[in-house]
Chains A and B, each alone.
Chain A
Amino acid sequence: MIACKQVAKALAENRYYELPWFRRIPMFIHIRLCVMCGKYHQQVVDFQKGIRGYLEHEEAGDVGTKIHLSDEAKKRIAEAMKNKS
């Protein structure tokens, strides 16, 4: 059985979903059963899974946001590119 501190160290140094299955399984069991650190580390794992989900959607280009380059920035960038090419 692995210890709470080992789970903490592994999650601090790795993204849960990138760990090989033979490291993930004992961690998964520990997190499910441990009354001391289970709740805390479950939330760390939830976040890491959320970030993976975000990165996948970002990769696919389907994160809808309302953020855009300002007209002023576009003008400045266009000007700089014109001078460069």
Chain B
Amino acid sequence: MAENNPNHPETWLEEHGDYLFQFAFVRLRNRAAAEDAVQETFLAGIKALERYDGSTPIRYWLRGILRHKVVDYIRTASREIAVDETEGKEILDSLKFKAFGIPDQHPPPWKFDPGHAYEQTEFWEVFYGCMSKLKESMGRAFTLRELEGWPTEEICKELNLTPNNLWVILHRARTQLKACLEANWTEV
């Protein structure tokens, strides 16, 4: 019976397990945490299955639950890690940042054309790999801001950061991401 019903929980692990794991891993950058999030998602899904109305495919319904699990993990993990108040002080104290809102040094130009790369299907695998390699601490802010689109104010509240600290973290995340993309993407 279960095999014939694509929405039956018995089929979830095989059908959606890897997709959901991939979704969680790029946001958490921690294998064990991503596995736990997938497990908790399935368990919450079983509990809430009566409320599933079929208006969206079950995969996206489960993904919606997973989003909450990811944010819950980030919240808990952030509470356990003390924020370094001196983070990025040298950037924030620079005259250029105070006057123009940018760091002292101009970033070097791209080693490839990003517009062209974004049109290549293979590029997204590299992009995924590089986002997954962001350090966990900076990755949290990056996930909430760039992948989940949270407002700055809310992120600062959740992660106990000032807007300037958040700006520095995102700046560093982009710098790291750029270096990784340039090292791993070859223009075709």
**Chain A residues with CB under 8 A of B12:** 81
Residue-wise interface mask of B (111-126) relative to A, using a CB-CB cutoff of 8 A (1 in contact, 0 not): 0001100100110110
**A residues 1-45 in Cβ contact with B at 8 Å:** 4-5, 7-9, 12-13, 15, 18, 36-37, 39-41, 43-44
Identify whether the interface residues of B are mostly helix, strand, loop, or mixed.
helix
CA distance A48 to B114 in the complex (A): 11
Q: Nearest CB to that of B12 among chain A residues?
A: A81
CA distance A63 to B12 in the complex (A): 20
Tell whether, in the assembled complex, residue B102 and residue A48 are in contact, meaning their CB atoms are under 8 Å apart: no
Q: Which bucket holds chain B's interface residue count?
A: 35 or more
Q: Choose from A48, A65, A80 the contact partner of B129 (Cβ within 8 Å).
A: A65
Tell whether, in the assembled complex, residue A69 and residue B38 are in contact, meaning their CB atoms are under 8 Å apart: yes
Tell whether, in the assembled complex, residue A4 and residue B146 are in contact, meaning their CB atoms are under 8 Å apart: no
Q: Choose from B124, B163, B170 the contact partner of A54 (Cβ within 8 Å).
A: B124
Q: Choose from B18, B43, B178 the contact partner of A81 (Cβ within 8 Å).
A: B43
CA distance A12 to B141 in the complex (A): 12
Tell whether, in the assembled complex, residue A39 and residue B118 are in contact, meaning their CB atoms are under 8 Å apart: no
Tell whether, in the assembled complex, residue A55 and residue B174 are in contact, meaning their CB atoms are under 8 Å apart: no
Tell whether, in the assembled complex, residue B13 and residue A54 are in contact, meaning their CB atoms are under 8 Å apart: no
CA distance A65 to B131 in the complex (A): 12
Tell whether, in the assembled complex, residue A47 and residue B177 are in contact, meaning their CB atoms are under 8 Å apart: yes
Q: Indicate whether B17 reaches chain A with its CB closer than 8 angstroms.
A: yes
CB contact under 8 A between A50 and B114, given known A15-B146, A68-B18, A68-B21: yes
**Chain B residues with CB under 8 A of A48:** 146
Tell whether, in the assembled complex, residue A67 and residue B124 are in contact, meaning their CB atoms are under 8 Å apart: no
Q: Indicate whether B52 reaches chain A with its CB closer than 8 angstroms.
A: no
**B residues 127-163 in Cβ contact with A at 8 Å:** 127-129, 131-132, 146-147, 149, 151-152, 163
Tell whether, in the assembled complex, residue A43 and residue B152 are in contact, meaning their CB atoms are under 8 Å apart: no
CA distance A74 to B17 in the complex (A): 8
> Contacts A40-B106, A65-B125, A81-B42 given; 4 further ones with Cβ under 8 A?
A51-B146, A54-B128, A63-B128, A80-B42
Question: When A and B form their complex, which 5 residue pairs have the shortest distance between CB atoms, in order from nearest?
Answer: A8-B101, A4-B100, A73-B35, A5-B101, A40-B102
A and B contact pairs by CB, cutoff 8 A, 30 listed: A4-B99, A8-B102, A12-B167, A13-B151, A15-B146, A40-B106, A40-B107, A43-B178, A44-B174, A46-B110, A47-B174, A47-B177, A50-B118, A51-B146, A53-B127, A61-B19, A63-B22, A63-B128, A64-B124, A65-B22, A65-B129, A67-B25, A67-B132, A69-B35, A73-B39, A76-B35, A81-B10, A81-B12, A84-B46, A85-B46
